[in-house]
């Protein structure tokens, strides 16, 4: 780890210190000895800083922050990563996602029923082995500040997350990805506001239609769980998801454990 990489890892851990499961010093010690748990890369005038940490024995949290030339966060993404057998068979993953939020439970539900329609749901309750392999990315968030859109940052973040999920793989591997089409709610930067967020069909749906089209261009299939327009008083943020299956070929030897 060189000084440039250390600077951005420490900066990222400092910004997220309140939500991390371990102290910043402990995570930095782990990153010093395990280079496959992070990467820092400058792409043009932006810096991409990604790291992971375990949330279960068979699942890890990936976090990616993108900085501009003034070290401001202008984009971010987060995803839970596991392998397909664990995703389908492990009840602790099903329980974790169900308890985490409605969004994550629905991501598990939608991905399972769409990509593995012949298996009963939830498959983990049947205590059987699934004849399926690959990697799964369940996105918890993905956002690019308005001023930095139309620069391919969203696509670049997806590629970074996918490559990190495949860092220990070799040959052809299937990657299953799902993200929820939540309304754009900025938590940082010039887009952020102190006003509380309230769902509005008139305000939020045009943005989600645009985001769905952007996702479609990167190979996703948008899915809407309910065909009718949600009532203004209901939470319409749980209706839209985007899913994607890719077959990725990794030529390099996988990173050692």
pLDDT in tens, 70-121: 999 999 999 999 999 999 999 999 999 999 988 899 999 999 999 999 999 9
The reply to whether 211 falls in a domain is yes
Q: Which residue has the higher pLDDT, 235 or 165?
A: 165
pTM over 0.85: yes
Strands (E), the chain: 38-43, 46-56, 59-67, 73-83, 135-144, 171-180, 221-224, 240-250
* Predicted confidence band of residue 1 (pLDDT cuts 50, 70, 90): confident
Place of tokens 């890719």: 246
Q: Supply the pLDDT for residue 207.
A: 80
As to burial, measured by CB atoms within 10 angstroms (0-12 exposed, 13-18 middle, 19+ buried), residue 172 is: exposed
Coil vs helix vs strand at 166 = coil
* Predicted confidence band of residue 130 (pLDDT cuts 50, 70, 90): confident
The answer on pLDDT for 239 being more than 80 is: no
Question: CB-based contacts of 206: which residues, under 8 Å, 6+ apart?
Answer: none
- Domain count of the chain? 1
Q: Supply the pLDDT for residue 231.
A: 57
8 Å CB contact between 116 and 133: no
Q: Supply the pLDDT for residue 27.
A: 93
The reply to whether 124 falls in a domain is yes
The reply to whether 30 falls in a domain is no
The reply to whether 195 falls in a domain is yes
As to burial, measured by CB atoms within 10 angstroms (0-12 exposed, 13-18 middle, 19+ buried), residue 186 is: middle
Task: Provide, rounded to the nearest whole percent, the portion of the chain with pLDDT above 70.
Answer: 89
The answer on pLDDT for 178 being more than 60 is: yes
Stretch 218-238: mean pLDDT = 69
The reply to whether 17 falls in a domain is no
* Predicted confidence band of residue 196 (pLDDT cuts 50, 70, 90): confident
Stretch 172-201: mean pLDDT = 79
Span 34-67, pLDDT tens digits: 889 999 999 889 999 999 999 999 999 999 999 9
Place of tokens 């009963």: 120
The reply to whether 204 falls in a domain is yes
Any bridge partners for residue 248, and if so which?
A: 173
Domain residues for the domain of 176 are 52-62+76-250
The answer on pLDDT for 152 being more than 60 is: yes
Q: Supply the pLDDT for residue 139.
A: 96
Q: Supply the pLDDT for residue 205.
A: 79
- Indicate which CATH number applies to the domain containing 226: 3.40.630
The reply to whether 2 falls in a domain is no
Q: Which two tokens stand for residue 243?
A: 């899913």
């Amino acid at each position: 780890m060189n000084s440039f990489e250390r600077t951005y890892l420490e900066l990222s851990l400092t910004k997220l210190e309140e939500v991390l499961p371990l102290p910043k010093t402990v995570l930095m010690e782990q990153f010093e000895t395990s280079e496959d748990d992070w990467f820092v890369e400058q792409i043009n005038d932006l810096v991409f800083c990604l790291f992971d940490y375990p949330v279960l024995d068979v699942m890890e949290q990936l976090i990616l922050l993108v900085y501009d030339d003034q070290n401001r966060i202008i984009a971010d993404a987060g995803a839970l990563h596991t392998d397909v057998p664990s995703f389908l068979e492990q009840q602790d993953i099903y329980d974790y996602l169900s308890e985490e939020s409605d969004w994550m439970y629905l991501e598990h539900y939608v991905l399972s029923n769409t990509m593995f329609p012949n298996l009963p749901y939830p498959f983990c309750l049947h205590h059987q082995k699934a004849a399926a392999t690959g990697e799964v990315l369940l996105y918890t968030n993905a956002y690019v500040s308005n001023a930095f859109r139309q620069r391919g940052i969203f696509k670049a973040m997806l590629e970074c997350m996918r490559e990190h999920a495949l860092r220990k793989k070799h040959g052809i591997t299937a990657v299953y990805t799902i993200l929820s089409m939540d309304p754009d709610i900025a938590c940082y930067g010039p887009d952020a506001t102190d006003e509380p967020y309230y769902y509005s069909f008139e305000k939020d749906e045009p943005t989600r239609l645009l985001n769905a089209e952007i996702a479609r261009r990167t190979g996703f299939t948008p899915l809407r769980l309910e065909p009718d327009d949600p009532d203004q008083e209901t939470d319409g943020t749980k209706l839209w998801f985007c899913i994607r299956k890719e077959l990725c070929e990794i030529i390099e030897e996988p990173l050692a454990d």
